[in-house]
Structure 1
């Protein structure tokens, strides 16, 4: 899965604050993501994070379309 820093992830499960969108801060073996609603930062293993991704929202694709 091609996940880059700066991407917004729409997850299958919501964060306890109620938001389902997260900003990718770092990618590699672990992902560092930030909740777009409350700002809480989370480090997750790559496999666990990729399993919970519903959709990847990119600024580049929105501008082209």
Structure 2
């Protein structure tokens, strides 16, 4: 699955606020994700994110 900066992705598990959409804010060895509901920012290793992504909703060029 090809993930790029500013993509909106759906993860397998939802956030505590109830949302399931995340925006890729930073992409490197670690990935910074921003919840689209509450705007909370989290960081995860890239390998873990690739395992947890269910699908890419929106690709912004």
TM-score if structure 2 supplies the norm length?
0.89
Rg (Cα) greater in structure: 1
RMSD: 1.2
Q: After the TM superposition, list the runs of 4 or more consecutive aligned residues in structure 1 that deviate by more than 2 angstroms.
A: none
> Equivalent residue for 2:30?
30
> Equivalent residue for 2:13?
13
Is there any run of 5+ residues in structure 1 with no aligned partner, and where? 61-65
TM-score if structure 1 supplies the norm length?
0.84
Higher strand share: 2
Bigger relative contact order, structure 1 or 2 (CA pairs below 8 A, ≥6 apart): 2
> Equivalent residue for 2:53?
53
Q: Closer, same or farther in 2 for the Cα pair 1:3/1:59, shift >3 Å?
A: closer
